[in-house]
């Protein structure tokens, strides 16, 4: 059996059992690159820009790591540390507020004297009377204006245009 011809020129390509590095060529060997390399573009052998892994701010900052751990733990135990209320809590608060408002109104109603009650009744009667008067006035003015329009139309049709009479 004749082996396949090898057309490669380098040693890396000749040995197929040799392990290749897991990182891409041109990548930094350290886990975190310093800030001075951020602006620099690395060029490969063939003139192309070598890709590099973007920095992970969560991996760099110990404060962010600790905060993330704490938030995950609180979520796991069901504690809400961000101060956001669930829908059920919001509805319950709304119901409590309405109940308190009704209780205050009832207390105010119970604490009034007979004079205050009578004065409120009179005020309600006056409001009702004023509203009915306004409605009647609007109705009368609309009827009156319609009467005048119809009268003018009838008069214009029945009266002769010539004033020779």
Question: Do residues 32 and 38 make contact, with C-beta atoms less than 8 angstroms apart?
Answer: no
Phi-psi region of 97 (alpha: psi -120 to 50; beta: other; left: phi over 0): alpha
Q: State the average pLDDT for the chain.
A: 78
Delimit the domains of the chain by residue range: 87-157
pLDDT beyond 80 at 105:
yes
Question: Do residues 80 and 74 make contact, with C-beta atoms less than 8 angstroms apart?
Answer: yes
pLDDT tens, 117-163? 899 999 999 999 999 999 888 887 777 788 888 888 888 888 665 65
Q: Would you state the pLDDT for residue 161? A: 57
Q: Would you state the pLDDT for residue 31? A: 42
Question: Do residues 76 and 52 make contact, with C-beta atoms less than 8 angstroms apart?
Answer: no
Residue of 28 and 57 predicted with greater confidence: 57
Q: Is 48 exposed, middle or buried (0-12, 13-18, 19+ CB in 10 A)?
A: exposed
Q: Would you state the pLDDT for residue 131? A: 94
pTM given for the model: 0.26
Q: What is the mean pLDDT of residues 25-29?
A: 49
Secondary structure letter of residue 16 according to DSSP? T
């Amino acid at each position: 059996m004749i082996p396949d011809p090898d057309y490669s020129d380098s040693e890396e390509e000749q040995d197929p059992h040799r392990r290749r590095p897991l990182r891409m060529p041109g990548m930094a060997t350290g886990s975190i690159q310093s800030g001075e390399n951020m602006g620099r573009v690395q060029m490969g052998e063939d003139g192309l820009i070598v890709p590099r892994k973007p920095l992970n701010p969560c991996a760099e900052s110990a404060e962010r790591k600790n905060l993330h751990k704490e938030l995950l733990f609180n979520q796991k135990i069901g504690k809400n540390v961000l101060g956001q209320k669930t829908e059920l809590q919001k509805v319950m608060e709304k119901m409590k507020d309405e109940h308190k408002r009704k209780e205050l109104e009832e207390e105010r109603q119970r604490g009034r004297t007979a004079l205050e009650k009578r004065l409120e009744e009179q005020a309600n009667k006056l409001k009702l009377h004023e509203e009915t008067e306004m409605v009647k006035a609007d109705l009368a003015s609309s009827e009156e204006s319609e009467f005048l329009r119809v009268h003018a139309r009838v008069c214009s049709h029945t009266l002769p245009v010539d004033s020779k009479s």
